[in-house]
Structure 1
Amino acid sequence: MSKRIAISVLSDAGLEASVSSHFGRCSYFTVVDVEGHTILHVDTVANPFYARHQPGQVPGFIQSLGAQVMLSGGMGGRAVEHFRQLGIEAVTGAAGTARETLKRYLGGELDGAEACTESVEHGHG
């Protein structure tokens, strides 16, 4: 089964980019199409809401990219709920590079989303 997976990252280095600790404040998303454990295509997309965003805008953007999964270091509770409502699997706890995060996710070592407290500090709790 093929999947499109978005990963919040700090640069446009594709799978070698470091994962961002908070998806809404990341500079880029690495978008990966996979079939099982095989990588079919990798793209990097700038986050148009990097400087400023309202709750729900970034999850809506991820949906517009066709992603079924969003991997990130962390995200706020409202974002987790927005993704759930959009039918997108949100996963937090990612770290290292996008490649390492993807490998952990595909291997079943990374799943579930726990809201981070930092989102409250910038009004997204």
Structure 2
Amino acid sequence: MIVTQKIVIPVEDQNGLDSKVASHFGKAPYFASIDLNGRGQIIETKIDPNTGEHLGGTGHPHENLLALKPTVIIACAMGPGGLHSFQNAGIMVLKAHGSTVSEVIANFKEGKLTPLTGGCPHAHEHHHTH
């Protein structure tokens, strides 16, 4: 089966398609990676831990996820660094609509998701060192 779409969604838990969508991309404990075939059927779902510096790891989550070669990122909110990084890499970034991965994927397949624009407007409780 040929993968035609790889969708990455930040999630709160490791419950596969029933995983709860995280409210903020960079602080999500996990990322769901969903592969779709040309007919929009799910052929693989994986949940991987967020190894970014926001959660004590290294690097920025968006930089770490580029290695997965996603075609679409779906999130409720995202900082401007992640948003611009994905957009510059030609990856579509959409606003999540739904509380679980399966709901978000259904809305994606039905064309109900809109582009995520402008990074998250809130102040972060952390500091980056550059």
Partner of 2:35: 33
Query: Greater helix share, 1 or 2?
Result: 1
- Identical positions, percent: 24
Deviations 1:35-59 (A, max 9, x none): 23211111111110151478x7211
Q: How far did 1:94 drift? A: 3.5
Q: Please, which moves more after superposition, 7-16 or 109-118?
A: 109-118
Equivalent-residue separation in structure 1 for 2:85 and 2:97 (angstroms): 19
TM-score (norm 2): 0.83
The SS at the match of 2:64 is: helix
Q: How far did 1:77 drift? A: 2.0
Q: Is the 8 A contact 1:73 1:95 kept in 2?
A: no
The SS at the match of 1:23 is: coil
Gaps of 5+ in 1: none
Point out the structure with max Rg over C-alpha. 2
Number of equivalenced pairs: 122
Q: CA RMSD in A?
A: 2.1
> Could you list the runs of 4 or more consecutive aligned residues of structure 1 that deviate by over 3 angstroms after TM superposition?
none
Partner of 1:94: 97
Equivalent-residue separation in structure 2 for 1:80 and 1:43 (angstroms): 22
